[in-house]
C-alpha cells in the first residue's frame, strides 16, 4: 500500500544524564526536503538526522525538532582562581590598613571578583549523544511512518473507488458509441427517404456515409488504452512502495484519452459520461498529490 506524504511522529527517551525529545512532521512536496531545529551546541546532529530519515522517506517537506534536557552536567567544572583571589584580598587588606576601614571580607564578596573562578567544559562525547538521539529519532520515525501508511491506505481506497467509477463510464461509452453510429445511420436513411420520397434510395451511399461517421467518432483505441491505464493504476496502488510520481504520469494519460473521446463524440450522453470521468480523474489527481 502506498504511503501519504503527510505524517507526524514524536518520541521522548530518558537516559542517565538527559532527556531527549524528537518530533518529526512532513507535508507534501515534489522532492525530499529536510530541515532540523536542534540546540545550538548540537548542530552536528542535523546531517546525521537527514541521512537517517532520507533512508526511509522519499518525498515530502520534512521538519525535525530535537530537544536535549540535561539532568546534570558532569562535563562542566568550576575551580577557584587562587592566585587572582589572593591578589585581590591582599590589595583590599592593604587598603584597610591604609584607610583604617573594617575588614568585612566574606565569601560573597569573593564571588564578585572578576575572573575569580575558572569554568571549564569538557568536550561532548558526540558518538554517545548521537546514539541516544538516534534511538529517540528511530522511535519517532516509526510512529511517523505508521501514520503515513494509514493515510496512504485511505487515499488508495478513495482512488480505487474512483477507478471503479471511471471503468463503469468507459463501458457505457463503448456501448453508447455503437448505438450512436446505428442511430446516425437510421437518421440519415430517414432524411433521404423524406427528400426522395418514393424514389429508390442508394443503400450503398447510406452505408458509406455511416462508415465515414463511425470512423470519425470511433473511440475503440481510446477505450482500450483507458482500460489498460485503469489496470496499471490498480496495480500501482497495491504496491508497498513510493508510486506517487508514476501515478501522476499515468493520470495525465487518463486525461488525454478522455479528452480525445470528448472531442470525437458529439453525442449528448457520451459528453455527460466524459464530464463525469474528468471529474473523477481530477479527484484522483488530488489524491495522488498526497502520495509519496
For the stretch 241-283, pLDDT in tens is: 889 999 999 999 999 999 988 887 778 888 999 999 999 999 9
Which grid cell sits at 110? 569573593
Residues 166 and 258 in one domain: yes
Residues 69 and 83 in one domain: no
Residues 202 and 98 in one domain: no
Give the three-state DSSP class for 198: coil
Residues 56 and 178 in one domain: no
Q: What is the CA radius of gyration of the chain?
A: 38
Q: Which of 113, 148, 183 is the last residue of a domain?
A: 148
pLDDT digits (tens, 9 = 90+) for 179-223: 776 665 666 555 555 555 555 655 666 556 555 555 555 677 888
pLDDT higher for 174 or 21? 21
Residue 112 inside a domain? The answer is yes
pLDDT higher for 87 or 24? 24
The rounded distance, in Å, linking the Cα atoms of 173 and 277 is: 11
- CATH number, domain at 130? 3.30.230.70
Beta-bridged to residue 18, according to DSSP, are: 70
Q: What is the DSSP letter of 40?
A: G
Residue 86 inside a domain? The answer is yes
pLDDT digits (tens, 9 = 90+) for 3-62: 999 999 999 999 888 899 999 999 999 899 999 999 888 899 999 999 999 999 999 999
Residues 23 and 66 in one domain: yes
The enclosing H or E element of 250 equals helix 244-264
Which grid cell sits at 100? 583604617
Query: Domain of 203?
Result: 150-288
Q: For the whole model, what pTM was predicted?
A: 0.68
Residues 170 and 244 in one domain: yes
Residues 14 and 87 in one domain: no
Residues 171 and 200 in one domain: yes
Handedness of CA 33, 38, 43, 44 (dihedral sign): negative
- Dihedral, CA atoms, 241, 245, 249, 254, nearest 10 degrees? 60
Q: Do 245 and 291 contact (CB within 8 A), yes or no?
A: no
| Strand-strand pairing, 32-37 and 60-70 | parallel
Q: How many CB atoms lie within 10 A of CB 253?
A: 15
Beta-bridged to residue 66, according to DSSP, are: 22
Residues 21 and 60 in one domain: yes
Which residues, at least 6 apart from 133, have a Cβ–Cβ distance to it below 8 Å?
20, 22, 42, 45, 48, 49, 66, 68
Residue 1 inside a domain? The answer is no
Q: What is the DSSP letter of 156?
A: H
Q: How many CB atoms lie within 10 A of CB 244?
A: 25
Q: How many residues does the chain have?
A: 292
Q: Do 54 and 34 contact (CB within 8 A), yes or no?
A: yes
- Dihedral, CA atoms, 112, 115, 119, 123, nearest 10 degrees? 150
Helix extents (H) in the chain: 45-54, 82-99, 107-111, 126-196, 203-217, 220-237, 244-264, 268-288
Return the pLDDT at 222.
87
Number of structural domains the chain divides into = 3
Residues 90 and 157 in one domain: no
The rounded distance, in Å, linking the Cα atoms of 255 and 285 is: 10
Residues 81 and 69 in one domain: no
Place of cell 471503479: 164
Q: Helix 220-237 to helix 126-196 angle, to the nearest 10 degrees?
A: 160
Residue 2 inside a domain? The answer is no
pLDDT higher for 138 or 88? 138
Amino acid at each position: 500500500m502506498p504511503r501519504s506524504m503527510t505524517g507526524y511522529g514524536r518520541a521522548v527517551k530518558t537516559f542517565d544524564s538527559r532527556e531527549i525529545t524528537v518530533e518529526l512532521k512532513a507535508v507534501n512536496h515534489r522532492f525530499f526536503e529536510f530541515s532540523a531545529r536542534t540546540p545550538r551546541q548540537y548542530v552536528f546532529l542535523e546531517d546525521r538526522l537527514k541521512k537517517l530519515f532520507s533512508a526511509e522517506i522519499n518525498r515530502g517537506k520534512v521538519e525535525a525538532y530535537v530537544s536535549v534536557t540535561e539532568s546534570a552536567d558532569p562535563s562542566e567544572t568550576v575551580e577557584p582562581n587562587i592566585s587572582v583571589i589572593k591578589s585581590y584580598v591582599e590589595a583590599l587588606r592593604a587598603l584597610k590598613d591604609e584607610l583604617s576601614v573594617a575588614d568585612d571580607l566574606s565569601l560573597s564578596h569573593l564571588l564578585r571578583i572578576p575572573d575569580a573562578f575558572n569554568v571549564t567544559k569538557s568536550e561532548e562525547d558526540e558518538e554517545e549523544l548521537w546514539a541516544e538521539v538516534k534511538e529517540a529519532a528511530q522511535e519517532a520515525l516509526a510512529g511517523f511512518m505508521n501514520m503515513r501508511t494509514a493515510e496512504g491506505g485511505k487515499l488508495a481506497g478513495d482512488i480505487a473507488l474512483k477507478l471503479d467509477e471511471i471503468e463503469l463510464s468507459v463501458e457505457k461509452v463503448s456501448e453508447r458509441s455503437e448505438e450512436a453510429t446505428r442511430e446516425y445511420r437510421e437518421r440519415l436513411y430517414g432524411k433521404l427517404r423524406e427528400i426522395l420520397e418514393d424514389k429508390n434510395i442508394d443503400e450503398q451511399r447510406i452505408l458509406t456515409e455511416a462508415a465515414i461517421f463511425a470512423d470519425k467518432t470511433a473511440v475503440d483505441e481510446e477505450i482500450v488504452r483507458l482500460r489498460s491505464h485503469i489496470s496499471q493504476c490498480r496495480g500501482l496502488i497495491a504496491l508497498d512502495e513510493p508510486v506517487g510520481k508514476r501515478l501522476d504520469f499515468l493520470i495525465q494519460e487518463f486525461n488525454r484519452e478522455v479528452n480525445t473521446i470528448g472531442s470525437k463524440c458529439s453525442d449528448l450522453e457520451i459528453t455527460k459520461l466524459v464530464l463525469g470521468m474528468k471529474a473523477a480523474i481530477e479527484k484522483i489527481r488530488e489524491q495522488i498529490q498526497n502520495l509519496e
